[in-house]
Amino acid sequence: MRAETALPKTCPKKTCPKKTCPKTWMQDLGSPAAGADRTFEELLTAVGRNRDRAAFAALFGHFAPRLKAYLRRQGCDAGGAEELVQDVMLLVWRRAETYDPSQASAATWMFTIARNRRIDALRREQRPEIDPADPTLVPDPVESADDGVAARETAGRLRAALRTLPPEQADLLRLAYFEDKPHSLISAEQGIPLGTVKSRLRLAMERLRKAMRDSR
């Protein structure tokens, strides 16, 4: 099971992600290079396919400090945050096989794992989610191979759009994602009328959505 961790770099599997994934966003717009010559998406794929420990360590080096900052903003103390970071990274190791680079950037995938883990750990709640294999699920309308997915995950364009958001929109967006507070509570705490909170979040999302969809 774990002998593969020592696979040489010439392992033919290493070339698979690009072969099997027709998407182009990974190459030209994907996450910044992770020190070495591989994107985070490639590193995560290598962990999933080859149990690549060096790739895992590189992912840890980049994401652990960000995950810690995220968990601190959710109300963890420094020690608790580091413990949860370890939990999240162990989950990343165990689930990396299910990571599909055509569906999400590495950062997005890590975000969803960290989000669910902290709901479980800090709130002791379940996180209800759809089951993609559920026969009752209403399927996506037929789309061409690159439609939707490629647009959804143009990580570079999205980051750029995020940087150009008006500060009042970007601030609210961070509160909504990082503070474990629904928009209604943000409104109450920030003393901003609920309608204003909603319209700022909507405007922010419209701009980001446009950036993601225009990149087709």
Partner 1 sequence: MTVPTHHPGDTLLIDYAGGALGEAASLIVATHLALCPCCRLNVAEMEAVGGALLESIEPEEVDPACLETVLARLDDLPPLPRVPRPKLVCQPAEVPLLPEPLRRYVGGDLSRLPWKRLMRGMDCYDIPLGSGSGYDSARRGKARLMRLASGVGPPHHTHRGIELTLVLDGGFTDDLGQFARGDLSVADDSVRHRPVADEEGCLCLAVTDAPLRFTGALGLILNPFVKF
Among the listed residues 100, 111, 146, 190, the single contact to partner 1 using CB under 8 A? 111
What is the per-residue binding string for partner 1 in 53-72, x denoting contact by CB under 8 A? x--xx--xx-xxxxxxxx-x
**Residue 63 to residues 57, 100, 149, 202, Cα–Cα distance (Å):** 10, 18, 23, 28
Indicate the residue among 27 and 90 with the shorter CB distance to partner 1: 90
Work out whether 97 is an interface residue with partner 1 (CB under 8 A).
yes
Shortest distance in whole angstroms from residue 39 CB to partner 1: 12
Q: In Å, what is the CA distance from 21 to each residue of 26, 45, 149?
A: 9, 12, 11
Q: Is residue 191 near partner 1 by the rule CB under 8 A?
A: no
Structure tokens at 76: 């963890």
Q: Which amino acid is at 156?
A: G
Q: Is 162 in the site for partner 1 (CB under 8 A)?
A: yes
Q: Which residue number, 10 or 43, has a Cβ lying nearer to partner 1?
A: 43
Question: Nearer Cβ to partner 1, position 10 or 194?
Answer: 194
- In whole angstroms, what separates CA 160 from the centre of its chain? 16
Distance separating alpha carbons of residues 95 and 145, to the nearest angstrom: 25
CB of 2 to partner 1, least distance (A): 6
Q: Is 145 in the site for partner 1 (CB under 8 A)?
A: no
| 142 CA to centre of own chain | 25
CB of 45 to partner 1, least distance (A): 14
Contact status: 207 vs partner 1 (CB under 8 A):
no
Which lies closer to partner 1 via its Cβ, residue 46 or residue 85?
Answer: 85
Q: By CB under 8 A, is residue 109 in contact with partner 1?
A: yes
Distance (Å, whole) CA 186 – CA 168: 13
Contact flag: residue 100 with partner 1 (CB under 8 A): no
DSSP per residue, 157-212: HHHHHHHTS-HHHHHHHHHHHHS---HHHHHHHHT--HHHHHHHHHHHHHHHHHHH
